[in-house]
Structure 1
């Protein structure tokens, strides 16, 4: 239990509630071409921003607890951060802790993969770079598999050369082979079975080159590829044959005995993809899990128990089974507001209902106080989002327009899923439509805020619709298909997101002029919690990340 928040004596109060609008997947784009947010006619959002203090907030990487600033944010960690007002470890640190405490091995997912009567396969980036994976995690799982009675383990290695030395593969292979030999006693058999460079097989992202995944599938699953007696032999052979080749580009290989692959994946086996970072994990996950898969001909698709290290995409719920659960989050904004007697409404459509409830409240099911909290779910359409890009934003707004003047609520939070769910489709025209439909609803809400003397905070959990085309990292040029059309990007972006405070009843409680830059810059979306608490007239907990407003 937490104590009630203390009233802020400097706050003069407002008649209406504080309304937090989360525009899911809406950021400030880095590139003009492919920025569907900037390309849309967002007349209402632009007008609100022009007369309100505003800034940009970080919504990816370390700002939301991920290992590095190369990691894109997502809806789950974004709502976690906004709801708890602090940054909790996600990704690498979370996996390490889960292994150290034994929580990973006590989980249902691990017990399912370790229950195999066949072979337990591990696929992932073979290094200690700690951006996508770490070999210590793999070693710990292999040891536990042996302890749990698994008899046969096969490792499918993806050589790094990007997050570690570009030709360091043998520095990892030799000690790892020694580790496997040490473990292979008492009827336990653990060996490297296949591999290749991370930029040649398996680890594609954003649908840029599915042929990489196809090569990985053939090597890991079917055992199809050039055969070698060991991983060392494979690396040395390719380096000799292709002078100057670096680890990430090493060609595929299969370890074989007597011409027979030692690690082809069979029905009844288990597979763990041990990368914790999501962007280069989703495509191979789809190859294993999706029944309706059309990216390449999988041929024989073995019936396996598949698990990812983490949930790589909460919107897609991929993978269906994952080893490490979200972080244990306490003392959330919702808990403090309930302890203080603040009346709250949380609302979205089905696609993001859990984000403004479960994730916003620190991965907690249910309410803190049934008498003070109302949760409303608007049922989402069950069809491809590009066919109804406006989604349920109007219906959500209809309920908000009833709630704002009702006097029933002090704090209202809502999520418009359009920018994220339609953004994932890669259909540019649909995204434009989704943005403009949402903008119409922002106009309706702003009018209601005016009439009720309320406060409106507009932000987002991460970017997506702001970066709809693939770009070359070095030149910024749009990547194009053979027909000259842009290659669609369907994943989240690394771009900052808005924070706009529309407060028509402003009475000098904080700095607001000039509008641009009047809010604290360089903060992350975890600052949203303290900001809303301040606007409600209370003092945020001391360890919460500071609000974007200054006095």
Structure 2
């Protein structure tokens, strides 16, 4: 093996021209690195990572593509294909789920993110499965979760009328609840947020106003300067709550932001906070949310085989690994990077740095970058591992808030950390690769002047620092799938045939 390799993923660090609307313009050390070190740019969205044309990349897809060294068909595309090609009736798990509904009380709650963001779910799936259950003469209760994070901050009004119309047109379709993803989709163990959404499903959440439609809730929130993401969970008039033996269909195809809610529903020993247990033995999820949760639910779209990931190949070659991230992105450098495998590989050490406990990350835009940097430098100096994988969450997490000054502060913090990391990598003879999983902070505002909060379809950097061999980047289109083969080439390890990606460079 040539040198130890440090793969540093800057979450949401995309590339485009430098201007006042690009937060990276304000990062002097990053701009210096671009002048001094060999780099290229990788496609991180659309078909290059298994997503539909025009679909921005995201952290789950990005880390999985990087870790697997191949482009796999993502869940958004898999579900779209089944819907568009009339394959839904062929899904045995769905047909069994429907039979169970009919054999109990014929009631099903549909829960999930209702937006066209395409990162965690898609509103087309929500609408399709609502209509599909109605066509099967099932009583349906709708519980849309609002976005405002992977979409513009007030995007909900553009499409929520579709659910209002469904409830008004079908006697079997009823209003349930509505609320922002800040509550129902927390993933940082802020159980008090998840509990608000959970209690709204049960109709035991205190509520000051009566609402007659989903639209009325959103308009009321806008009048109080509350955007989609932060709308308090609310019940719609006449909703009676979850009844005994009700069924549930969770629309989100991405797992990480549904896990807490599903844990509340399925874990009989749940003790993170006081909740009223729900009696139901019939829950379906679009995909595998976790091995534990999937043991209690029906999974409609099972995992795709993801053998021979970068982590597994390094393990088979007895190369010790160190994975580090803060809470918000810990699953990405472990579970997602390993292709949906929860258990660490032999020789894989993990370190979780807690994310700061603040209401929104614009209040602490540095997040835990300093602690992550300190731990990485200690590991580099220790000389007891050969591969380091890190994720810096704050560019993306703060980018989602749309608060320009805070986004720039988060970028400046990364810029400061990069200087320390590069210095220590060089001093200790490590190769350092700087890359990203998708874009975000390089676009601060929308064309209409509103804050930009979503990911982008821009390419991401791939920079090589301190590699002992001079390199040439090839001219072919490159993507995140090419990172793992590039790492293996640096380590003089043959890539497995499953990796369809190719190294982005050749040694001069």
State whether TM-score is above 0.5: yes
Is the alpha carbon distance of 1:216 and 1:34 closer, same or farther for their aligned partners in structure 2, counting shifts above 3 Å?
farther
1:525 counterpart = 2:480 = yes
Q: CA deviation at 1:330?
A: 1.7
1:548 aligned partner = 504
Measure the CA separation in 1 of the matches of 2:126 and 2:370: 48
Measure the CA separation in 1 of the matches of 2:35 and 2:440: 23
1:55 aligned partner = 40
1:421 counterpart = 2:410 = no
Measure the CA separation in 2 of the matches of 1:492 and 1:136: 24
1:288/1:306 contact within 8 Å kept: no
Q: Secondary structure at the match of 1:334?
A: helix
Is the alpha carbon distance of 1:288 and 1:367 closer, same or farther for their aligned partners in structure 2, counting shifts above 3 Å?
closer
Is the alpha carbon distance of 1:549 and 1:103 closer, same or farther for their aligned partners in structure 2, counting shifts above 3 Å?
farther
Is the alpha carbon distance of 1:133 and 1:215 closer, same or farther for their aligned partners in structure 2, counting shifts above 3 Å?
closer
2:58 aligned partner = 74
2:308/2:498 contact within 8 Å kept: no
2:43/2:480 contact within 8 Å kept: yes
2:8/2:390 contact within 8 Å kept: yes
Q: Secondary structure at the match of 1:63?
A: helix
Measure the CA separation in 2 of the matches of 1:132 and 1:445: 42
1:398 counterpart = 2:381 = no
Q: Secondary structure at the match of 1:446?
A: helix
1:56/1:521 contact within 8 Å kept: no
1:374 counterpart = 2:349 = yes
What does 1:112-123 correspond to in 2, within 5 Å? 117-120=105-108
2:494 aligned partner = 539
Measure the CA separation in 2 of the matches of 1:141 and 1:218: 17
Q: Deviations over 1:443-474 (max 9, x none)?
A: 00000011011100000011111223222xxx
Q: CA deviation at 1:50?
A: 1.6
Name the Cα RMSD after superposition: 4.1
Q: Deviations over 1:153-173 (max 9, x none)?
A: 5699xxxxxxxxxxxxxxxxx
Is the alpha carbon distance of 1:450 and 1:111 closer, same or farther for their aligned partners in structure 2, counting shifts above 3 Å?
farther
Measure the CA separation in 2 of the matches of 1:115 and 1:397: 55
Measure the CA separation in 1 of the matches of 2:385 and 2:99: 45
Measure the CA separation in 2 of the matches of 1:71 and 1:113: 34
Is the alpha carbon distance of 1:543 and 1:262 closer, same or farther for their aligned partners in structure 2, counting shifts above 3 Å?
closer
**Number of residues paired by the alignment?**
405
TM-score (norm 1): 0.64
1:55/1:519 contact within 8 Å kept: no
What does 1:395-474 correspond to in 2, within 5 Å? 395-471=371-447
Measure the CA separation in 1 of the matches of 2:409 and 2:127: 47
Measure the CA separation in 1 of the matches of 2:65 and 2:308: 12
Measure the CA separation in 2 of the matches of 1:538 and 1:118: 56
2:469 aligned partner = 507
1:311 aligned partner = 253
Q: Secondary structure at the match of 1:377?
A: strand
1:152 counterpart = 2:138 = yes
Unmatched segments (≥5 aa) in structure 1: 1-6, 8-12, 126-130, 157-201, 224-253, 256-260, 268-286, 472-478, 480-485, 512-517
Q: Which of the numbers 265, 273, 278 marks the counterpart of 2:175?
A: 265
Indicate the structure (1 or 2) with the bigger Cα radius of gyration: 1
Q: CA deviation at 1:415?
A: 0.1
Unmatched segments (≥5 aa) in structure 2: 116-121, 143-147, 178-195, 208-216, 221-233, 263-283, 289-302
Q: CA deviation at 1:265?
A: 3.1
Measure the CA separation in 2 of the matches of 1:26 and 1:374: 26
Where is the helix percentage greater, Structure 1 or Structure 2? 2
1:84 aligned partner = 68
1:190 aligned partner = none
Q: Which of the numbers 10, 21, 24 marks the counterpart of 2:8?
A: 21
Q: CA deviation at 1:214?
A: 5.1
1:365 aligned partner = 342
Q: Secondary structure at the match of 2:312?
A: helix
Is the alpha carbon distance of 1:212 and 1:448 closer, same or farther for their aligned partners in structure 2, counting shifts above 3 Å?
same
2:482/2:502 contact within 8 Å kept: yes
Q: Which of the numbers 446, 450, 461 marks the counterpart of 1:487?
A: 450
1:312/1:319 contact within 8 Å kept: no
1:459/1:500 contact within 8 Å kept: yes
Measure the CA separation in 2 of the matches of 1:355 and 1:264: 37
Is the alpha carbon distance of 1:397 and 1:101 closer, same or farther for their aligned partners in structure 2, counting shifts above 3 Å?
farther
1:334 counterpart = 2:293 = no
1:198 aligned partner = none
2:141/2:176 contact within 8 Å kept: no
Q: Which of the numbers 498, 519, 529 marks the counterpart of 2:461?
A: 498
1:83/1:332 contact within 8 Å kept: yes
Is the alpha carbon distance of 1:340 and 1:140 closer, same or farther for their aligned partners in structure 2, counting shifts above 3 Å?
farther
Measure the CA separation in 1 of the matches of 2:419 and 2:99: 51
Q: CA deviation at 1:59?
A: 0.8
Q: Deviations over 1:398-443 (max 9, x none)?
A: 0111111211111100000011111111111110000000110010
2:219 aligned partner = 296
TM-score (norm 2): 0.69
Q: CA deviation at 1:522?
A: 2.0
